[in-house]
Structure 1
Amino acid sequence: MEATWQHLERLKTRVGLELPPELLTWWAVMDGVDDQRDHGAGNRSVELIPKGYLPLSVARAEEEYARQSQYPDPGCCTPEGTHLKQAGANGFPYCTAVLPIGRAIDGGLLCVDLRQGEHHGRVMEWYASEGIYDSGWASVTEILDEIAERLDDGEPPAGAV
């Protein structure tokens, strides 16, 4: 299911930062997975994104963003809405310039870093106990390329039976 234009516009307004074009394209084509239902079904879920993440819909991304952004990183997020750290920098507890795009069954989030700097658009991981840190993926495109390569090689997604 594709994300509606209205949902995307509402999310962009709420976040107030430039979203990477590849993320907008991905959401325009595929609006995520129902992470609450698919992880809670009691069956072993197919792991589309490595490390146990399922892609979030725009609506779920907005919910997670609203929930986590209540706890901004005092060493990064200013009251004026600017950020003291550059894209790709670690932070704790949560930086309001990172947008969730995936969720793991253990509560972790896969996020896109929207802060300014050389690593704008970098994919970060977030856990409540660890804060935000580098995932090893430079961009959403890199994740999608990895998934496509795995499927082109005839490998099922991790967790598929």
Structure 2
Amino acid sequence: MMADGGTALGMVLAWLDRSMPGAVSQLRPPARNEDLRAVETAVGRSLPGDLASWWRAMDGVDGTLSLIPPHHSPYSTRAALENREILLDGWNAAVGHDDPERFDALVADAEQEPAGSACRFAWLPSWLPIAGDRGGDYVFADLRPGPANGCLRLFYRDAGASDVVVWPGVAAMVAEIATGVTFDLPVAGCLPWIEAPGTLTWYVPRFRWYRGGSAFVNGPMLQERYGEFVAELRQGGFSPPARGWSAGLIAAHVARNTELLSEVANALVGMPGAAADLRYDNTAAFDPVVLNSYASLGTAALADRIASLSSNLRAATDGLDRSSPRIQIRLVEGTDVLVDGPESLSGVLNALWGRQLPLRIRQLRALRADRLP
């Protein structure tokens, strides 16, 4: 499902207002017509209608609100022109200093290519940065003529422009962001996440299940997150979901997943030398027959069960081998296989307290919020 372009920005703003109170105040007032004309004059190209509409709705953001994945903050018209000049003068000067005349000729040839054509050796005059990460990476609109006029691509400080068109235009970008943040779906391959202090970040789906590396498991945080989940479950007051899992199915999933993790963690503690023969597969935590069976127990009984299972898992984490031996791990989400091979169980357990349990807590709270007038 893709949000309609006419309502997309409103969906994004509504989500921001719910998820990050005060974030909307970082949006700048709409750009003036003279601001848009200044951009067109500097670039020597007309702005695509959706880009002009984007700036007429908000002239970028103040601060570092990373509204565009993977970590870019929208620019104002003024910031767009300032960063364009930096790239034209700085980046191009650095890569073209050996043979300026030949470099200028190559740039002139690339300017004649249709929008979306690859060009890694320079920043072209018809490229306009619309967002940046403050570290030298940009989202830019390719304003060269052609069917792809206005398409959006990424520019990296060290590697230049990516050959891949991320979005065909600003309208498509905003629509995908709106759908992603509203329904917790990937946007350009990244999922949205609100950190506790109120910071919007983006991460790849596998980080929801696996943090990677062999860092020690943070047992106290694991225990704390389970405690928060159980407390939310015991509070009750959930309404049926408009889409997705009910509270009972969320609890059933957490219970079954915790069972699977406890079995593997305890086996790993008891027989660290047999790690190669151990396997954790989260597919079993999505089995609809199993989840419905567990959910039939009721959320109160499942809360007690999860509390007991999590205590067992927490105890097992204290005994995990510090060398973090690898076991066979298969992680799926929907139809996507995120991990399939020998990995450290600690990466799964740290993602459990860092992403999985907070996600399930948010899902429970959303079901309760649905009951509010």
Q: State the aligned residue count.
A: 149
**Greater Cα radius of gyration, structure 1 or 2:** 2
Residues 43-122 of structure 1: pairs in structure 2 closer than 5 A: 46-70=65-89, 71=92, 74=104, 76-78=106-108, 83-91=111-119, 92-122=121-151
Contact 1:47 1:158 in 2 (8 A): no
| CA deviations over 1:107-153 (Å, ceiling 9, x no partner) | 20100001122211110111232222234212111110011112332
* Correspondence for 1:123: 152
**Counterparts of 2:31 and 2:41, CA distance in 1:** 15
* Correspondence for 2:57: 29
CA-CA distance at 1:159 after TM superposition: 4.1
CA-CA distance at 1:75 after TM superposition: 6.0
Select the structure with the greater relative contact order (CA < 8 A; seq sep ≥ 6).
1
Unaligned runs of 5+ in 2: 1-28, 94-102, 186-190, 196-373
Contact 2:180 2:192 in 1 (8 A): no
| Letter aligned with residue 136 of structure 2 | G
Quickly say closer, same or farther: Cα 1:75–1:148, change in 2 above 3 A: farther
**Counterparts of 2:125 and 2:193, CA distance in 1:** 32
* Correspondence for 1:151: 181
Unaligned runs of 5+ in 1: 40-45
Contact 1:75 1:84 in 2 (8 A): no
Contact 1:76 1:85 in 2 (8 A): no
**Counterparts of 2:75 and 2:192, CA distance in 1:** 18
Contact 2:140 2:153 in 1 (8 A): yes
SS class of match (2:132)? strand
| CA deviations over 1:31-71 (Å, ceiling 9, x no partner) | 1113xxx34xxxxxx53111111110111001011221232
Contact 2:66 2:74 in 1 (8 A): no
Contact 2:129 2:141 in 1 (8 A): yes
| CA deviations over 1:65-93 (Å, ceiling 9, x no partner) | 122123286465329xx823221122222
SS class of match (1:3)? coil
**Counterparts of 1:129 and 1:74, CA distance in 2:** 20
Stretch deviating more after TM superposition (6-15 or 134-143): 134-143
SS class of match (1:149)? helix
| CA deviations over 1:90-110 (Å, ceiling 9, x no partner) | 222211111010001432010
**Counterparts of 2:152 and 2:75, CA distance in 1:** 14
